[in-house]
Chains A and B, each alone.
Chain A
Amino acid sequence: MGHVELVDLSKSYDKQKSVLDGINLTIEEGEFFVLVGPSGSGKSTLLRMIAGLEEITGGTLKINNETVNHLPPKDRNLSMVFQNYALYPHLNVEQNILFGLRAKKVSKQEQQERLMEAVEMMGLGEYLKRKPRELSGGQRQRVALARSIVSQAPLCLMDEPLSNLDAKLRAHMRIEIRRLQKRLGLTMVYVTHDQVEAMTMGDRIMVLNDGKIQQVGKPIHLYNEPANLFVASFIGSPKMNLGNAVFVEESKELVIENALSIKNNSAYLENIKRTEKLKIGIRAEHIFPATSETATHHLEVVNVEQLGNETIVAFDIGAELWTAKWAGQWSVQVGERVPVKIDMDYLCFFNAKTGDLIRPAHFSKEKEVAAI
C-alpha cells in the first residue's frame, strides 16, 4: 500500500498530442521519489497532476488509497515548492511562511509555534522581517521550504527547486532537503532534470522520456543496469560510452564502431544472438589505464580534463567520442597514444533497434553476490 498511486495515468492537450501515457507507479510512504528526465519529458506535468494544478485526462490518481482525480489541490493535503519559489513579493518572510496557515484558519498560537519550529530548522531567525527581494537565492529557497514545512502536510512536491542556485549552494541544499525529508518523515516527490541530483537524493528514481516511463528503481540499479539506451546515456556523468558493435565469428572478436575489436573471452556471452544488431555501452570508469603489457588497446587522446582528484580523457572511437575516468592525476597529452584496458565483462549490451538492454555489465552481478 503506497502513499501515492498512479494507475494508467495519462495526459493530453486538446485530445490529440499525448504528453504523458500509461504511467503506473506507486510511491511509498516516507519515500524520497525523484522524477527525472530531459526538458519536455512531462515530468513537471506529472507533478502538477499529482498536485491538482493540471487536469487528469485518463487513469486514476490515488493518495492514501482514495481516488483524488477531481479533488481540488487544497483537499489533497500536500505542500509544494516551486522552481521560482513563488514567494509573495509584498509580504515579509514571516508573513510568507504563515500565509497558507492564515488561509486555513489555524489558531494564532499554533501558527507561532509552527513558525518558530520551521524558522529554527531552516535558520531564518534574523530574516523574519525582510522582504523576499532582500534575500539571496539560498535564503529564498529556505523560506519556500519553511513554508512547506509549516503546512505539516505529509506529502511534499518539489518542482526543480534547486535549479536557480549556484553549484556550491545547490550541493549544500541537496543535503539539507534530504535531511529535512528524513527528519520529518515526509513523502517527497521531487522533479529535476539534473541526474546528479536524482542520483544523490532519491531513494528511488523514475526516468521519464517523451511522456513514457523508461525505468523505475534505486539509483545504483539504474546506474548499473539501465533498462535501455536512453537511461544508459541519461544517468551517470560523464555519460556512458556507447557504440555500434558486431560479433565477428571467425576471429571470435567483437568489433565496435569498426574501430575497436575486443577478444571474446567471456563464456557467458553465449546467449546473445550473434545476428542481432547490437549496441554496447561502457562506463567511463571501466576504461582502465594500463601499462604496455596489460593493455588491450592503444588509443589516441583527443581531450584531457584535469579535475585534480581524477582525470577525464577523451578518445575518438569511430563516430563516437568516448571518455575514460581515471582516479588521480595523469599527465597525458592530446595526440598521445595511451595504453588502455577494455574488458568484455564491463560491457552492457543493448538491442540497437529497440534500445532495450540485453545484458548488463557482468561485474555488477559479481559485486552483488559478494555483498551477500
Chain B
Amino acid sequence: MSLPIGKKIVFYTLLIITAAIVFAPTVMAFVMSFMSNKDIMTGSMPSVLTFDNYVKAFNQFPLLQYLFNSFLISIVIMLGQLILSSLAAYAFVFLEFKGRDMLFYLFIATMMVPFEASVIPNFHTIRDLGWIDTYPGLSVPFFAMAFGTFLLRQNFKQIPKELREASLITGMGDFKFYLTVVLPVARTSLVTLGAYGFLTSWNMYLWPLLATTNDSVRTVQIGLKQLQTQEQLNDWGVIMAGAIIVIIPTLILLFLGQKQLQKGLTEGALK
C-alpha cells in the first residue's frame, strides 16, 4: 500500500500507541513476575530481578498437578471434539437421509444457547453419574460441538462429490472413505479446530470450578484464582508468575498455528 509519508507517520504512531496500551498489562505481568513484593507494593521500578516468584508458585501450590490436569483435559476435549464433529459433519455432507438439512439447522441453532444456560442440567447429569471430581466429568460435556460440526461441514462440502462417487465405484465403504480421503484432505481445518478446541478448554473457568471440589483434578485456571487470597495481602509477584506459566502453552500454540488457524477459520467463510 502506498501512503503519503505524512499519513504513514501518523498511522504508525497511532498504531504503536494502541499496541502499547493493549499490550501493557501483559508486559506489566511479565515484569512483575520477576520483581520482589516490596518493589511491587511501592510501585517503583524493579531494583532486583529474581526467579523467587516462580519457585514460590511451584512450591506453595500444586501447580504442576494443575498444569497436568489442564493438559489432559484439554487434549481429551480436543480429541473428542475432533472425532465427533468430523463424524457428524461427514454425515451431514456425504450421507443422504430425510430431513438432513432440517437436522443441520437445528444443530446450528444450538449455537445460540449460551453455555451458562446449560450449566445446571449438565451439572445434574454429571452429579447423577458420579462424575464429580473426575476427568470424564470435566471433559465429556464438551465433546459435542455445534461450531466444530459447522466448520467441518463447510470444509467437507468443498470436497468434490466425484471423489465419493469414484470411491463408490471401487467399492469403498463410508468409513474407509472418511478415514483415507476426507480426513487427509480436510487436514487444515482439523488442525484449526483442534487448536481452537484446545485453547477454549485450556481457558475454561466456570465448569471446572463447578465440577471439582478438590485439588486432584482441578485445572490451572482455578489454581490461578486460588493464588489470590481473601484474608491477607496478595502476593502479586507469585500470581503473575503463575499467570505467565499458564499462558505459555497458549502462546506456543498461537505462534505455531497462527497461519493455519487464520487459514482454516476463514476458509469456510468464503464459500
* Residues of A in contact with B (beta carbons under 8 Å apart): 48, 51-53, 72-75, 78-80, 82-86, 88-90, 99-100, 103-104, 151
Contacts and interface: CB of A to CB of B under 8 A. Distances in A.
Nearest to B159: A89
B51 to A, nearest CB: 47
B160 to A, nearest CB: 6
Interface residues of B, number: 16
Interface string B168-194: 111110001000010011010000000
Contact of B185 (A51, A79, A85, A88): A88
Contacts of A89: 185
Contacts of A72: 168, 171
Given A84-B160, A84-B162, A74 B185 contact: no
B86 to A, nearest CB: 15
Contacts of A99: 167, 170
Contact of A86 (B162, B176, B185, B187): B162
Given A82-B162, A104-B171, 11 more contacts: A48-B165, A51-B169, A53-B165, A80-B165, A82-B165, A82-B166, A83-B162, A84-B160, A85-B162, A88-B181, A99-B170
Listed from nearest, the 8 A-B pairs whose CB atoms lie closest are: A74-B171, A100-B170, A86-B162, A86-B166, A90-B184, A82-B162, A103-B172, A73-B169
A104 B165 contact: no
A90 B185 contact: yes
A48 to B, nearest CB: 8
22 contacts: A48-B165, A51-B169, A53-B168, A72-B168, A74-B171, A78-B169, A79-B169, A80-B165, A80-B169, A82-B166, A84-B160, A84-B162, A86-B160, A88-B181, A90-B181, A90-B185, A99-B167, A103-B167, A103-B171, A103-B176, A104-B170, A104-B171
Interface of B: 160, 162-163, 165-172, 176, 181, 184-185, 187
A80 B168 CA distance: 10
A79 B168 CA distance: 10
Contacts of A48: 165
A80 B184 contact: no
Nearest to A81: B166
The A interface is mostly helix, strand or loop, or mixed, namely: loop
Nearest to B168: A73
Contacts of A82: 162, 165-166
B101 to A, nearest CB: 15
A192 B160 CA distance: 20
A72 B181 CA distance: 20
A224 B165 CA distance: 38
A82 B184 CA distance: 21
Nearest to A80: B169
Contact of B170 (A52, A84, A90, A103): A103
Contacts of B181: 88, 90
Contacts of A79: 169
A90 B183 CA distance: 10
A74 B170 contact: yes
A84 B172 CA distance: 20
Nearest to A51: B169
Nearest to B185: A90
A78 B172 CA distance: 14
Contacts of A104: 170-171
A75 B169 CA distance: 8
B168 A88 contact: no
Contacts of B167: 99, 103
Nearest to B187: A90
B203 to A, nearest CB: 32
A74 B156 CA distance: 23
B67 to A, nearest CB: 36
B166, B167, B176, B187: residue with the most chain A Cβ atoms closer than 10 Å: B166
B170, B176, B181: residue with the most chain A Cβ atoms closer than 10 Å: B170
A175 B161 CA distance: 29
A78 B168 CA distance: 11
A83 B166 CA distance: 12
A322 B176 CA distance: 57
Contacts of A85: 162
B160, B165, B168: residue with the most chain A Cβ atoms closer than 10 Å: B165
